[in-house]
A and B are shown apart, each in its own frame.
Chain A
Amino acid sequence: MRSKLFITLKSPHEFGGLELVRASAKGAESGLLLFEDAVIFAANAKKGRELLSAVQEVYIMKDDWEARGLPLAVPEFKIVDYPQAVELIMERYEQTITV
C-alpha cells in the first residue's frame, strides 16, 4: 500500500477528518502535516495524541506554530520548515491527501 501524507489546515475545533484519516492510513506508512490553525493540535496533549493514534508521524509547520506562540504539548510532533514540507510531500510519502 502506498505511503500517505495527510494535510490539514483546520483547527482541532474544525477538524472532523480523524476517522477518515485513521481508516485511510490503516496498513500504510502515514503522516499528517499541519498548517495554519491546525498547529493548535500541538498545544493540546489530548487532541494531539488522538492524531498519533491514527498516523505514525505528525508534522507541524514551524512558521505557523511560532506565529501563534504555542507550547509544544506533544513532544513527538516534528517541527518542519517549508523546504522540509516539500521533501515530505514530494519524496518521503507517495501520496498526499488534504483533509
Chain B
Amino acid sequence: MKTMVIQLRTGTMMNMDSNIAVKLAQAALDKGYAVRIFGYGEGITLIKKGQDPKRFPNVGNETKEMLPKGLEVVVCETCCKARGVARGEEIEGTKIGSLTNDLSRFVAEGDRMVTIAR
C-alpha cells in the first residue's frame, strides 16, 4: 500500500489550507492509500481538541472521523509548547510527537509528500 504524507504548516481557521489537507487525506484514504499528516508551526492546531468554528469547516472533527480509517496524525511538540498546547489537549488518537522521530519516519516510509504551507 502506497503512503501519502501531508505536511501541514498553516493553522485551522486561518484560510482553507487545513481543509485542503483533510479533503486530500479523505480522498486518498477512500482510494485505499495510507495517509500520514504532520502538523508543523500553526499546523499543530489541526489536532486541538474541542474546536468549534462558526464559519469554517470543523477540520478537527473531520480528522477524528478519519482516524479509524487508518489516518495517522502527528504534530510537532516544540511547536505545541510554543503555543501553550499541552499533552492531553490533542484529539484522542492523534499524537504530539517530533520532527526527528515522526516526520523523519513519515518521509522515510512515505511514497509522496505534499506540503501545504504559505
Contact = CB atoms under 8 A, between A and B. Distances in A.
> Chain B contact residues: over half helix, strand or loop, or mixed?
mixed
Interface in B102-116: 111-116
A96 B107 CA distance: 13
Nearest to A5: B112
Contact of A9 (B28, B33, B111, B116): B116
Interface of A: 7, 9, 35-36, 63-64, 82-83, 85-87, 89-90, 95-96, 98
A86 B4 contact: yes
Q: Interface residues of B toward A: which range?
A: 20 to 34
Given A9-B17, A36-B17, A86 B116 contact: no
B33 A90 contact: yes
B2 interface: yes
> Chain A contact residues: over half helix, strand or loop, or mixed?
helix
B16 interface: yes
Interface stretch (B19-27, B36-44, B78-86): B19-27
A98 B24 contact: no
B30 to A, nearest CB: 7
A71 B33 CA distance: 33
B35 to A, nearest CB: 10
A89 B17 contact: no
